[in-house]
Structure 1
Amino acid sequence: MVCVAPVLRTDVRNYTHALAEVGGLRAVVGGAIYHGESSFAKVIGALDRRFGAGLYRASEARRLDVEVSPQQLISHPAPELRTRVVKKLGLGKLGAARTTDRIFGELDRFAASQLRGTDRLVIGQEDCCLRTFRAARRLGALTLYDLPIAYHTCLRQALEAEQWMFPGICTENLTEVFARDRQERKTAELAEADHTLIASNYVRSGLEGVGVQPARMTRIPYGCDPGRPYRAGSERKPVVLYVGHLSLRKGTPRLLAVWKRLGAYRTHTLLLIGKSFLRPSFLSEYAGTFEHVPHIPRSELWEHYSSAAAFVFPSACDGFGLVLNEALSCGTPVIASSNTGAPGFLTEGVEGLTYQHGNDDALAAHLDWMLSHPREVAEMGRAAYEKAQRWGWPQYRAAIRELVDRLLSGCDTRAPKTSR
């Protein structure tokens, strides 16, 4: 089995770990990733010392040690390294989406060249597997599509609705994000997939909307981090926490409008942690109603989860939202929109509350209830913590192994993939 991993998300680390545990993983093909025992680790360490961490960032986020052996990791760092050098010299003119496309495209071509006729299963991530999947199918291997976010048609529909509601307030270049060739590539990737790995019912509904049969998808929710210290409700601060980008896609404008309308800022703090893509002129309308911290080291972030009374996740379009699991792991009850991984994962009214995205009155009602029912919220926090103990990354890895066993046993045939 081969896994193409342009980005080492937490779930990617865990499903590569799951494959390695059963001895079925031949290789992880990645870009700017490395094994701590490899000679490449020394090279990028020297680059960081020579040019500064901004050039390559030899961080733990790029290091893949526990999950695989040095022999299983095939790195292709040249595209990203070249892009970083160009950017550092001030010569880069591409936007963020196009820069990612170029890096991922080169990695996709490289990964396709690394496949062997003995590979039975190839796992590829969205935007980085079209050539690899086509090569895999020529060799007779099964293809498993890792789709961590909502399908592009669903994403576009959601963001167009938010743009209509809040015109001109976002600095993100959505024209580049929704360029025709990018959407065509995503459509082609899905067409080459024998099976798709998803994390939420929201992503499932989007795929069903374009004709993918339910039998061609497997939903495995992301794991929590069990074992983190639990803090009782009486020990928590009057803070409602949000972690993530401040943007249209994440539903931040609706949250700010609802929070101000409730007047909740008079008794509680709305703490937003994450990079902002909203124009200062828009945020100024809500000055004094929230606190914003652009970045906090991950080691310090857990303290904010543990001390908050509640966590809010109002996303307009999200494949899952690992921040939900992080909140649950700290025993923090959640309010989340329907366009996230919460529905079908959370038990409604037990670990948290969900609402239909766009129904701002429902969001307001949930916030108002949590702010005015501290005893019940504390009980909900305890249930959230217990949920995290039941569904951690070990359970996620077990589900991945079960899926792979089913695919390789021949239970899933190739055709038909869609109902249209």
Structure 2
Amino acid sequence: MKIIVSHPNSNQFNRWALDGLLDRNMLQEFNTSLAAFPGSFLDKLSNVKTFSEIKRRSFVSNLQPFTKCSPWRETGRIVSGKFGLQSLVKHETGIFSVDSVYRDIDFKTKSRLKKAKLNGAKGVYAYEDGALNTFLEAKKLGLTCFYDLPIGYWKHARKLLEQEYERSPEWVPTLTGLQDSPTKLSKKDRELQLADKIFVASTFTKNSLVDFDGILNNVQVVPYGFPNPTTKRNYSNITRRNKLKLLFVGRLEQRKGIGDVVKVADALKNHVSLTIVGQKPTQDCEALNSAVKRHHWISSIPHAKVLELMKEHDVLLFPSLFEGFGMVITEAMSQGTPVITTERTAGPDLIEHGENGWLMKAGSTLSLKNCVEEILENKEIIAQVGKNALESAYNRPWKKYGEELAQAMRDHF
């Protein structure tokens, strides 16, 4: 039983999905934009600083025979970004926008389905915003449609985030993610309708589909895996005399709870220090502009440095208001850094409150403050909770995610 996979730019969870299918001899074909393999021209080009972004499109060599690329739109997007040609990458309408790249790979995958079926393909696995035309053609050919929804359902997002206009109006300018057109939102709904099976990475994402108007086919939760756990973590610097070192990592928008983080750090400034890592979504939010001046702000650093920074801090704060998963949770836990997060992330799927992390009520600054204060009163607990977080990381490596996903596809037939 073979599966065709489509993803325009790939990412960590897509790569491990491919790994799981490869291990079970279930991969028929992988359609993407750019792919660099060891020794290839793109691999060598990625060593040039100007084109270093290509390194993010590096794949293992055993995937090369299965990979079909359509690089031109994505190349145009990268080049346009380098030269500041914003009109070419404008949301939805730009010729080299992310949406344009997704449409291109969607149509390219659609065009390959007939041949793929003749070669033994039984199903296609595609991701949100890049599946519609592929699924329409797959239905005509009798292929099974597997769909990946990486973030919660858009109607549920709007319902929850609109509450911020009253709760935290000063942070509303950072809520830039509600800009999709009616046409794009309708397309998302059609993709969900066509799917024979929907994969999500958290129970929260699954529950968000309660706002979908209609009946959806089988929805299955397969949580993502953890990065390789650190073998070097020292908790000896966590003492009652030292300030509690808090860390926030992510885009600096209220969807991820940055306003709540800042309010708590300001209220407890005599007892905590706060490091913020992430880029501003806008320059027009005075609350954010002021906050990054008061606290230690790092706009951007390499991912490996982020992991090191996590290891140097006591607790990661991630009070997200709407998250499909929240990979910073697993990243921090893999470094032995316990996390405070909400029920609107993968937190409830990964964390037992007070054992390997802490869960708080989303949209409540008071809930976050109470949680931090409880830790301040008993700093000794950080080491044990951090070690338990590490144990959680050991028990669910990324490979397990790929294995479970591939098995779920096989079980569908």
TM-score (norm 1): 0.87
1:193 aligns with 2:195: yes
1:246 aligns with 2:252: yes
- 1:112 is matched with 110
CA, structure 1 residues 313+287, in 2 after alignment: closer, same or farther (shift >3 Å)? closer
Unmatched runs of 5 consecutive residues or more in structure 2: none
- 2:23 is matched with 21
For residue 24 of structure 1, report the CA deviation from its aligned partner: 1.1
What amino acid maps onto 2:317 in structure 1?
A: V
Distance 1:358 1:172 in 2: 14
Contact 2:275-2:295 within 8 A present in 1 as well: yes
For residue 260 of structure 1, report the CA deviation from its aligned partner: 1.7
Q: Counterparts of 1:247-396 in structure 2 under 5 Å? A: 247-261=253-267, 263=268, 265-277=269-281, 279=284, 281-286=286-291, 289-396=294-401
CA, structure 1 residues 146+288, in 2 after alignment: closer, same or farther (shift >3 Å)? same
SS in 1 for 2:31: strand
Distance 1:163 1:2 in 2: 42
For residue 397 of structure 1, report the CA deviation from its aligned partner: 2.1
- 1:184 is matched with 186
Residue number among 206, 229, 233 corresponding to 1:204 in the alignment? 206
What amino acid maps onto 1:90 in structure 2?
A: L
SS in 1 for 2:163: helix
Q: 1:175-234 CA distances to partner (integer Å, 9 max, x unpaired)?
A: 6x2311111010011011001110111101111332677871111111112442241422
- 2:90 is matched with 95
Distance 2:80 2:309 in 1: 37
For residue 14 of structure 1, report the CA deviation from its aligned partner: 0.4
Distance 1:384 1:289 in 2: 30
Distance 2:85 2:363 in 1: 41
- 1:411 is matched with none
CA, structure 1 residues 346+70, in 2 after alignment: closer, same or farther (shift >3 Å)? same
Q: Which moved more, 1:391-400 or 1:286-295?
A: 286-295
For residue 168 of structure 1, report the CA deviation from its aligned partner: 6.1
Q: Which moved more, 1:234-243 or 1:387-396?
A: 234-243
For residue 377 of structure 1, report the CA deviation from its aligned partner: 1.8
For residue 289 of structure 1, report the CA deviation from its aligned partner: 4.4
Residue number among 42, 53, 73 corresponding to 2:67 in the alignment? 73
CA, structure 1 residues 220+233, in 2 after alignment: closer, same or farther (shift >3 Å)? same
Distance 2:177 2:166 in 1: 13
Contact 2:36-2:54 within 8 A present in 1 as well: no
Contact 1:310-1:370 within 8 A present in 2 as well: no
For residue 86 of structure 1, report the CA deviation from its aligned partner: 4.7
SS in 2 for 1:114: helix
Residue number among 54, 61, 64 corresponding to 1:59 in the alignment? 54
What amino acid maps onto 1:239 in structure 2?
A: K
Contact 1:148-1:320 within 8 A present in 2 as well: yes
Distance 1:40 1:307 in 2: 35
SS in 2 for 1:121: strand
Q: How many residues align?
A: 397
CA RMSD, Structure 1 to Structure 2 (Å): 2.4
Unmatched runs of 5 consecutive residues or more in structure 1: 409-420
Contact 1:337-1:354 within 8 A present in 2 as well: yes
SS in 2 for 1:26: strand
What amino acid maps onto 1:104 in structure 2?
A: Y
For residue 83 of structure 1, report the CA deviation from its aligned partner: 3.6
For residue 400 of structure 1, report the CA deviation from its aligned partner: 1.4
For residue 394 of structure 1, report the CA deviation from its aligned partner: 2.4
Distance 1:196 1:296 in 2: 34
Contact 2:330-2:393 within 8 A present in 1 as well: yes
Contact 1:2-1:122 within 8 A present in 2 as well: yes
Q: Which moved more, 1:269-278 or 1:239-248?
A: 269-278
Q: 1:7-49 CA distances to partner (integer Å, 9 max, x unpaired)?
A: 322111101011011111011100123323445545xx28x85
Q: Counterparts of 1:36-55 in structure 2 under 5 Å? A: 36-39=38-41, 41=43, 45=45, 53=50
For residue 165 of structure 1, report the CA deviation from its aligned partner: 3.0
Contact 1:352-1:384 within 8 A present in 2 as well: yes
Distance 1:172 1:336 in 2: 19
CA, structure 1 residues 93+60, in 2 after alignment: closer, same or farther (shift >3 Å)? closer
Distance 2:385 2:84 in 1: 52
Contact 1:34-1:73 within 8 A present in 2 as well: no
What amino acid maps onto 1:124 in structure 2?
A: A
